């Protein structure tokens, strides 16, 4: 029986991948408390410029900042989605905290997947090259890949050149765009395009199978507003005080 969605993984597997991503979306949206919002110091200097230069009121500005933090979590989950999809192709499997993201079951391929081409600094790139080179050296028939799902071009090429001031090259270490990696594993030229075209239908089908529940409101903005009301500070001053009250002069807010 022909698959409904894509030709290279089962319909059931794709729906499981979508279900897992939906769970990540829900958790990200429902899990922003003030404590979590403050877990990375808030750049209130930048937020001050944003309010003035972008003509935003403080409430809208903080809502946008909370959404930015949620979006960061979602981007990580999207990378995991691709790993799960690719791990459902026959002959391949997803790594589970094992040092690789995707591998061939016969150990002829190892891959590390990044959702975007520019998510690594030079030190991270160097560490990744060294890791992939070790896999290649330990398995003489293995090819290793740095996968860039969203790349600037469609390509597969040896990964060599200057990284962190050092010259790196290996005959079986490659970098590859998302479309080419989907093609490599599925042996179908348009596999990535198939996924793109099928997602609206597959997502709609998945959503029909779950009960709609009221989303738990993230509490960060409510907590900040309550604090600002009690202290009689503006929202921005409240955030600044709670993040930098130990800085010289900031206790006067």
- Cα–Cα distance for residue pair 126/16, rounded to 1 Å: 34
What's the confidence (pLDDT) of residue 92? 97
- Cα–Cα distance for residue pair 19/210, rounded to 1 Å: 10
pLDDT tens string 140-176: 899 999 999 999 999 999 999 888 888 888 999 999 9
What's the confidence (pLDDT) of residue 215? 55
**Weakest-pLDDT range from 43-57, 106-120, 229-243:** 106-120
pLDDT at 67 over 60: yes
Give one DSSP letter per residue of 151-216, joined into a string.
-SS--EEE--EEETTEEE--TTEEEEEHHHHHHHHH--TTHHHHHHHHHHHHHHHHHHTS---PPP
Residues ≥6 apart with Cβ < 8 Å to 133: 144, 168, 170, 173
pLDDT tens string 117-136: 677 788 888 999 999 999 99
What's the confidence (pLDDT) of residue 214? 56
Q: Predicted confidence band at 2 (pLDDT cuts at 50, 70, 90)?
A: confident
Q: What angle do CA 160, 166, 172 make, to 5 degrees?
A: 30
What's the confidence (pLDDT) of residue 216? 57
Please compute the mean of the pLDDT values over residues 239-247 and round it to a whole number: 93
What's the confidence (pLDDT) of residue 52? 92
Task: Give 165 or 89, the one with higher predicted confidence.
Answer: 89
Residue 145 backbone class (left: φ over 0; alpha: ψ -120 to 50; beta: rest): beta
Please compute the mean of the pLDDT values over residues 61-85 and round it to a whole number: 89
The percent of residues above 90 in pLDDT, for the chain, comes to 64
pLDDT tens string 22-52: 999 888 877 788 888 888 888 999 999 999 9
Element (H, E) at 79: helix 58-86
pLDDT tens string 171-190: 999 999 999 999 999 999 99
| pTM (two decimals) | 0.83
């Amino acid at each position: 029986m022909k698959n409904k969605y894509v030709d290279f993984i089962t319909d059931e597997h794709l729906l499981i991948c979508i279900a897992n991503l939906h769970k990540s979306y829900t958790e990200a949206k429902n899990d922003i408390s003030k404590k979590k919002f403050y877990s990375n110091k808030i750049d209130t200097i930048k937020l001050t410029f944003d309010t003035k230069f972008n003509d935003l009121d403080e409430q809208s500005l903080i809502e946008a900042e909370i959404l930015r933090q949620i979006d960061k979590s979602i981007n990580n989950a999207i990378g995991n989605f691709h790993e799960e999809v690719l791990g459902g192709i026959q002959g391949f499997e997803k790594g589970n905290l094992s040092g690789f993201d995707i591998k061939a079951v016969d150990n002829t391929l190892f891959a590390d997947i990044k959702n975007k081409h520019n998510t690594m600094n030079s030190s991270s790139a160097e560490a990744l090259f060294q890791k992939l080179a070790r896999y290649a050296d330990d398995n003489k028939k293995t090819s290793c890949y740095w996968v860039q799902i969203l790349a600037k071009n469609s390509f597969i090429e040896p990964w060599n050149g200057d990284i962190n001031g050092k010259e790196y090259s290996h005959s079986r270490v490659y970098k590859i765009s998302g479309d080419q990696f989907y093609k490599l594993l599925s042996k179908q030229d348009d596999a990535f395009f198939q996924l793109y075209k099928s997602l609206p239908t597959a997502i709609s089908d998945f959503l029909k199978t779950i009960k709609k529940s009221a989303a738990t409101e993230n509490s960060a903005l409510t907590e900040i507003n309550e604090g600002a009301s009690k202290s009689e500070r503006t929202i921005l001053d409240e955030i600044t005080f709670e993040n930098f009250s130990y800085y010289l002069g900031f206790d006067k807010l």
